[in-house]
Amino acid sequence: MNAVLKFLVALVALTAALNVFAAADLEVNTPGVNAIKQSMQARHAQLAGHYNSGAVGLTADGLIALRDAGAVPLAQRQAVNALVAAENNDRNALYAEIANVNGHPEWQAEIRSTFAQRWIQRAQPGWWVQSGGAWRQK
């Protein structure tokens, strides 16, 4: 009886926790979030070619990474490094900002993982994405 009770309590707690996070509005629209999104949109044109070539891939933690520098001419490698760093700065800021706007800074990790899944789902065929620690091509 006791065990059943414990199980029920755990189940209720778990669903409550899920419900709490489910309330996070990922489409918040504040000047801060907009500035980050605009900055990311402007950068996407520069990054798209590197996603296509496989030089840059999408990681499982909602960021991007330089996975094959050899696909980039020497003269542009630092520029691509800088693009990747800037994009990751923006992505980290976006997750933090959305969590803040929702009034729950502690939701950042869940927001990040939701976005990670979204980015990977929306990745175009041929792009490289990370799953289970290894790179695979979509």
Could you write out the DSSP letters of every residue in 20-73?
HHHT--TT---HHHHHHHHHHHHHHHHHHHHHHHTSEEE-TTS-EEE--GGGS-
Residue selected from 30, 117, 131, 137 as contacting another protein according to rule CB under 8 A:
30
CA distance 82 to 76: 10
Residue selected from 15, 46, 78, 131 as contacting another protein according to rule CB under 8 A:
78
Element (H, E) at 2: helix 2-22
Residue selected from 21, 54, 68, 100 as contacting another protein according to rule CB under 8 A:
68
Does 54 help bind another protein (rule: CB under 8 A)?
A: no
Residue selected from 82, 117, 118, 126 as contacting another protein according to rule CB under 8 A:
82
Could you write out the DSSP letters of every residue in 73-126?
-HHHHHHHHHHHHHHHHHHHHHHHHHHHHTT-GGGHHHHHHHHHHHHHHHPPTT
Nearer residue to another protein within complex by CB, 58 or 72: 72
Residue selected from 34, 117, 131, 137 as contacting another protein according to rule CB under 8 A:
34
Return the residues of window 113-132 that contact another protein according to CB under 8 A: none
DSSP 136: E
DSSP 7: H
Binding residues for another protein, rule CB under 8 A, total: 23
Stretch of 13-21, 44-52, 66-74, 107-115 contacting another protein, by CB under 8 A: 66-74
What does the binding site for another protein look like in residue numbers (CB under 8 A)? Answer: 29-32, 34-36, 39, 68-70, 72, 74-75, 77-78, 81-82, 85-86, 89-90, 93
